[in-house]
Structure 1
Amino acid sequence: MSETLDRTLTPMQRIMDPASRADPYPLYAEMREMPVWKEPDGSFVVSRYEDVARLIRDPRVSVEPQNSPRGGQGLSFLNMDPPHHDRLRRMTMRHFGPPNDPGRVESMTPALEAMVAQLIDRLAGRDRIDVVADVSYPFPVTVIADLLGVPRADEPKFHAWAEAIVQSQDRDPREPGKRSETAEAAFQQLASFMFGLISQRKGAPRDDMLSRLVNDDGPDGVMEPHEMITVSVLLLLAGHETTVNLISNGMLTMLRQPHLLQLLRDEPEVAPAFVEEMLRYEPPVHFTFRGALCDLEVGGVTIPKGSAIQLMLAAGSRDPRRFEDPDSFIARRPNNQHLGFGSGIHACFGAPLARLEGQIALKELARRLVNPRLLADPPPYRFNPTLRGPRELPVAIDGVIP
């Protein structure tokens, strides 16, 4: 971008430009100086931690597309307000973790470790790898497929459909449009495929999450067939999208700061706190959208009813008013209540699994890769400014520790 263009665009417009993808943090700092303002398109941008944390929990803001013009496609309970959101989320969470199945995620640890070990084993004999293609992407997609109960033999086409749908969201934000015909076809094929699995599980349950959803007899009743399809597709897409970025951003940060790589090698027990700091420092999701259900006063500014609101999660998580030395990675940062997985009733329901996947993958990459070095810095980034992460992460290695 030219200097003239820099001066004529707002910070939000510059963040949407792919040229800013590698380092949006100076723009976030600029945003926080004027924490609430109105964009030329009529939306309001909120960037300070206190305001974002409050609004993301405020029942006076909506996630439904008709109330939040940019809020999504309305395909799942991620784009629903209470009470419909609460019912579907409860029914899904009953089979994903506490309180009904409190050991579900933790019990997956051995299987997750084996998956990562197998992926890293395949790197032996190579001197160049792509962390995204070789580990960050295949690991969480396989995890969620296994969790749902997708047969291993069907995983290649399952992966292909997921990738086509995800790529449709990874377009230049300055060129909005509907999903491509390829992505739409992939979505329909995936929905049909999931319906087939759901039909098989009805009355003939197996040890997987689809069986539990289909045969649920909980207090909220049963899901309608279309609800099961949208929930299962949501679990697939949301179940790997953020984790891909978490692992990729984590490895990139360690390669840029080799003392962090050494820390994780020497003290693997620091991994839980390490991942929390990664979620603050280089979060997989940078902002989210809401709609004002009534007039709101934020930072001395009135946001009128019906306005679109852009909540800058990544800007809030680096707010010096909340975090000491926010632009430094502090592995054991105390009181790290970041916004990396959102907050409130729409906080990421898969966060416990994503955290565990991130801990295992980053520990093993740090331990087993011999002398890893970045081959491109910055690496090529995805267009998507919301789900921010490298599209590729080329790394040179001297080998793999068995």
Structure 2
Amino acid sequence: MTTGTLITQITDYANRADPYPLYAELRKQPVRRQDDGTYVVSTYYEVRSVANDPRLSNDTRNRPPGYARTADADDTGLPPSFIFTDPPVHDRLRETITRPFGPPHSPRFLDGLRGELAQVVTELLDAFEGKDQVDIVEDFAYPLPVTAICKVLGVPREDEPNFHGWADALASSLDPQVGEEGKEKGQQARQDLGAYLSDLIETKRRHPGPGILSALAPDMTPADLEATAVLLLVAGHETTVNAITNTTLTLLRHPDILDRFLKDPDLAVPLIEEVLRYEPPVQFVPWTTALADIDVAGTTIPKGSPVWLMLAAANRDPQRFEDPDRFDPDRKDNEHLGMYTGIHYCFGAPLARIELHLAVPELFRRVKFSRLLEDPPPYRANAVLRGPRHLPVAIEGLTA
């Protein structure tokens, strides 16, 4: 089986529900060249090594002519957001953005959102009252992260509904196999979001208020700030939706572990980390490029070659994790790649973990689940940001 065939199958929607046997096949050769010249890295130590190699570029402008670039690099007149840049530009932008977002400059910012986000969780679950079935995605996992990222940015509550559609279209456009229609929708969403953010940023400059847009306005150009806000919406929303939904689905598929979790809420921390390994919301990184020849596991990735880093395959590498296809919240030394690694480690990881630790325990504390109504559920089209599009479940009641 050729790498091209494997990658085609991995990105084929027919295999979205369970790509892991394909990842196992891919790992038999740690580094593989596709017919189009792309190199695919799939084993844990090799993915980690290449991801931390300064000769690997995240800047999609370095990709060879003819290779797909991300929606971030579309002709919108904006610079690329910091995730799609390399040092020193990346380091300058990331350091600037970190100041109002977290330690050491703003250690209480995220923690200060807990009360508001907990209230959102309560309101979403209260709406389950009287229902005998719900969609975990639409009714719970999807609304929470968009509210969180809007609070981080300082978006007025009445404008939040617009962000749902923009986030969905932008996330879908990141799929390397997306068609022209998906690209056009992503481009339109980015333009609409950009126009909204441009007005909001100008308002925040003149009338500072809550959120990081006000804090960053004096230190960043409007274009860089707008690009950053677009990135935070996509990265901060879609991945967390998938993480909450994947955790719910995994627990309902493992009733013995769910029973333990219900009796011992402290299991939440290792349980959520194990889900991030076992069912990571970001399956692979398909936009990097080699800036020089890179030798990996006996293979040379030539300068200028596009590189895909298969995070989900690496997270189930038996050379790193014992019995990797088993969901085990008691797993020790669980240094997974579910939030990536290196200088591009997920910027929003602290916020995502706060949301997960507020949402998941409360969901299972208050809701008495009966059964999954579809297993496997329908998945999103996106192979990169993988998660169920809907998760219909039957429920038997709701506690206070």
Report the 3-state secondary structure (helix = DSSP H, G, I; strand = E; otherwise coil) of the residue aligned with 1:45.
Answer: strand
Q: Distance in 2 between matches of 1:136 and 1:115?
A: 11
Report the 3-state secondary structure (helix = DSSP H, G, I; strand = E; otherwise coil) of the residue aligned with 1:384.
Answer: coil
* Residues 1:120 and 2:122 are matched in the alignment: no
> Deviation at 1:358?
1.2
Structure 1 partner of 2:331:
333
Of 259-268 and 352-361, more deviation after overlay is shown by: 259-268
Aligned pairs, number: 389
Q: Distance in 2 between matches of 1:63 and 1:7?
A: 26
Structure 2 partner of 1:251:
248
Q: Distance in 1 between matches of 2:144 and 2:170?
A: 18
| CA deviation profile, 1:164-203 (whole Å, cap 9, x unmatched) | 3334446xx6554375544433322211111111111114
Aligned AA (2:124): L
CA contact (8 A) 2:169 2:182 kept: no
Pick closer, same or farther for the CA change 1:46–1:88 going to 2, 3 Å.
same
TM (norm. structure 2) is 0.93
Determine which of 148, 153, 157 is the counterpart of 1:152: 157
The Cα RMSD (Å) is 1.8
Structure 2 partner of 1:223:
220
> Deviation at 1:371?
2.7
Report the 3-state secondary structure (helix = DSSP H, G, I; strand = E; otherwise coil) of the residue aligned with 1:302.
Answer: strand
> Deviation at 1:10?
2.6
Q: Distance in 1 between matches of 2:220 and 2:57?
A: 23
Pick closer, same or farther for the CA change 1:94–1:178 going to 2, 3 Å.
farther
Aligned AA (2:355): E
TM (norm. structure 1) is 0.92
Structure 1 partner of 2:138:
133
Structure 1 partner of 2:87:
82
* Residues 1:165 and 2:170 are matched in the alignment: yes
Structure 1 partner of 2:202:
199
| CA deviation profile, 1:323-343 (whole Å, cap 9, x unmatched) | 111111111321111000101
Pick closer, same or farther for the CA change 1:175–1:282 going to 2, 3 Å.
closer
Report the 3-state secondary structure (helix = DSSP H, G, I; strand = E; otherwise coil) of the residue aligned with 2:62.
Answer: coil
Q: Distance in 2 between matches of 1:340 and 1:8?
A: 23
Q: Distance in 2 between matches of 1:345 and 1:178?
A: 33
Determine which of 23, 27, 30 is the counterpart of 2:25: 30
Aligned AA (1:166): A
Pick closer, same or farther for the CA change 1:366–1:21 going to 2, 3 Å.
same
Structure 2 partner of 1:304:
302
Q: Distance in 2 between matches of 1:49 and 1:367?
A: 35
Report the 3-state secondary structure (helix = DSSP H, G, I; strand = E; otherwise coil) of the residue aligned with 1:202.
Answer: helix
Of 279-288 and 75-84, more deviation after overlay is shown by: 75-84
Aligned AA (2:248): M
Unpaired segments of 5 or more residues in structure 1? 1-5, 216-221
Q: Distance in 2 between matches of 1:367 and 1:65?
A: 44
Q: Distance in 2 between matches of 1:7 and 1:61?
A: 24
Q: Distance in 1 between matches of 2:297 and 2:131?
A: 54
Q: Distance in 2 between matches of 1:45 and 1:8?
A: 8
CA contact (8 A) 2:82 2:93 kept: yes
> Deviation at 1:350?
0.3
